[in-house]
Structure 1
Amino acid sequence: MRFGYFLSTEEFTPAELVEQAKLAEEAGFDALWISDHFHPWNDEQGEAPFVWSLIGAISQVCSLPVTTAVTCPTYRISPVVMAQAAATSAVMLEGRFIFGVGSGEALNEHIHGEPWPSADVRLERLEEAVELIRELWKGEFTNHQGKYYTSDTARIYTLPDSPPPIYVSGFGPKAVDLAARIGDGYITTSPEAGPLREFKEKSGGKPAQVGLKVCWADSEEEGVEEAHRLWANSGLPGELAQVLPSPRHFEQASELVTKESTAESLACGPDVDAHVDYLRPAVEAGFDELYVGNIGRHYRDMLTTYGAEVLPRLRELAAQR
């Protein structure tokens, strides 16, 4: 089992994210996740740099594999341009790149003014986009006239030696089915064993990644305060994360999330045992890779302590599974 670090573009500046990537490698993490947003979830988070610029910068300071977690290649940017961006990233990372894709959130994808469609339509568009991207990665002139996308004699010239894997994000049953059918792997932010088991059975055992957040701080109280201020939105139920269109709407909805529920849903503070216990279900569920991101300003302390104390214990748990 591999253990990676989750770079949050919603919360940190480009310089901080590049620093975190370098520190994660020095701490002994195996790989990186990086989110792809146009907006943060709320104004307290306050950042949203362009992920493709960051991947290029990260490739120059560390040698860890990188997965986008996740890119929506269907609305904000066309799949033709996404194919070029992902191919260049794979070249710069010398093949250590996984293109993580999903059906998107209105928060990031509605910005051109298109109506936000149903989940079924979003998944249908994602399937066509992935098909087109794979065609473009063959390096030939590509003509495509599909239901949603058109490509007119488009050719990607800068390509890696082999196409990067495409991992598909899935939360509901239909998305898990799609991930198993068209993906080279699976991505989720839920450590639940049920969807993972379903994906493994339907895909023939393809790899699966899960990402979680913690809040390292000098005390549990400080960690809860910081996590609730910055990431109360992670406690919103159902499909709200997919359909709310702007940070202010997430701020309004997050008023319903209590500080107590934030405390119950995350590992907050400096207790190593609490962090290991929080991550244990993801290890025991059978994921192939677990990514952990830190909320708040104490990411240097988190990375150092995880490298020295948390990762060895997680690896021991994985070996015993």
Structure 2
Amino acid sequence: MEIGYFLSCEEYGPDELLEQAAAAERAGFTGLWVSDHYHPWNDEQGHSPFVWGMIGALSRVCSLPVTTAVTCPTVRVHPAVIAQAAATAGVLLDGRFRLGVGSGEALNEHILGDPWPSVDRRLEMLEEAVAVIRELWSGEVVSWEGKHYRVDHARIYDLPETRPEIYVSGFGPKAIDVAAKIGDGFVNTAPEAEAVRRFKDASGGKPAQAGAKVAYASSAEEGWEHAHRLWPNAGLPGELAQVLPTPEHVEQASELVTMESTRGSVVAGPDPERHLAQIAAYREAGYDALYIANMGPGYREMIDFYGEQILPAAG
């Protein structure tokens, strides 16, 4: 299983993200995930740089493959625009770009005043959006009259020699089935073997990737404090993360997440065994790659720690 680094646009500003990317490459991480948010989950996280500007900058500071984890191409941004942005990213990264897509969260997608669709409708929109993107990547003039999208005589002129793969996020059986149907790969965040099996069985064995977080610090307790302060939303159950519309709503719901819950769910501190155990859980679930983000200010130390102790041992 390959191990990459997950750039959190919600928690870090542009300069910090570029610093992390360059350091991750030096440390031996095999690739980058980068999140796509208009808002952070809460004000404490405090950032949300534009992902397509970040990808352009990333292409100039490191040579690692880059995947959006994930872009929503259905509400806030029309799929024809995503197709152009991803094509340019593919050119800048010389074929090392992968487009990760998902059905999105109201937190980011509500900003233009559009209604937030039901789960079934969002998945239907995602399927059509991916079809529009692939059609535009043909390099031909495209006109499209679909159920959800219209494209009028559009053509993308700058295309990479190899079109980007499209990986699709899915967190329930219906979404996983859509990912298997339309995706070149699968994206998730939980070490759930059943989800991976369902995707691989339905897709003919296409690759599956996951993201996870750690809170590196001089002690586990300090790491848990950072995680609880910055990412209590990670403990929200069910579909709340998809339907809450503002950081303020997420903050209110996150008040229900206890420090005890954070201690029980977050890998924190400098003990290599805890970090290696988390990696092993994702490997055993069947993932082909795992991308790990840091929570808190100790990202430099975390990247060095992984380069020196975790990546060699996880081999």
Report the TM-score when normalising by structure 1.
0.97
How far apart in 2 are the matches of 1:296 and 1:244?
24
Q: Deviations over 1:170-196 (max 9, x none)?
A: 001010000001100000011110100
- Equivalent position of 2:278 in the other structure: 278
**Partner SS for 1:100:** strand
Which residue type is aligned with residue 43 of structure 2?
D
Which residue type is aligned with residue 188 of structure 2?
T
How far apart in 2 are the matches of 1:217 and 1:4?
20
- Equivalent position of 2:81 in the other structure: 81
- Equivalent position of 1:2 in the other structure: 2
Which residue type is aligned with residue 41 of structure 1?
W
Which residue type is aligned with residue 300 of structure 1?
R
How far apart in 1 are the matches of 2:73 and 2:133?
9
Gaps of 5+ in 2: none
Shift of 1:126: 0.3
Which residue type is aligned with residue 245 of structure 1?
P
- Equivalent position of 1:103 in the other structure: 103
Number of aligned residues: 315
Where does 1:232-311 land on structure 2 (aligned, <5 Å)? 232-311=232-311
How far apart in 2 are the matches of 1:185 and 1:164?
12
How far apart in 2 are the matches of 1:95 and 1:30?
15
How far apart in 1 are the matches of 2:234 and 2:165?
28
**Partner SS for 2:267:** coil
- Equivalent position of 1:157 in the other structure: 157
CA contact (8 A) 1:283 1:314 kept: no
Shift of 1:115: 1.0
- Equivalent position of 1:114 in the other structure: 114
Which residue type is aligned with residue 249 of structure 1?
H
How far apart in 2 are the matches of 1:313 and 1:293?
18
- Equivalent position of 1:146 in the other structure: 146
1:186 and 2:181 matched: no
**Partner SS for 1:144:** strand
**Partner SS for 1:99:** strand
How far apart in 2 are the matches of 1:182 and 1:312?
35
CA contact (8 A) 1:4 1:29 kept: yes
Identical amino acids, percent of aligned pairs = 64
1:134 and 2:134 matched: yes
Q: Deviations over 1:33-69 (max 9, x none)?
A: 0000000000000000000000000100100000000
Which residue type is aligned with residue 293 of structure 1?
A
Which residue type is aligned with residue 123 of structure 1?
L
Shift of 1:279: 2.3
- Equivalent position of 2:221 in the other structure: 221
**Partner SS for 1:296:** coil
How far apart in 2 are the matches of 1:20 and 1:287?
24
How far apart in 1 are the matches of 2:109 and 2:296?
26
Shift of 1:278: 2.3
CA contact (8 A) 1:266 1:278 kept: no
How far apart in 2 are the matches of 1:308 and 1:284?
23
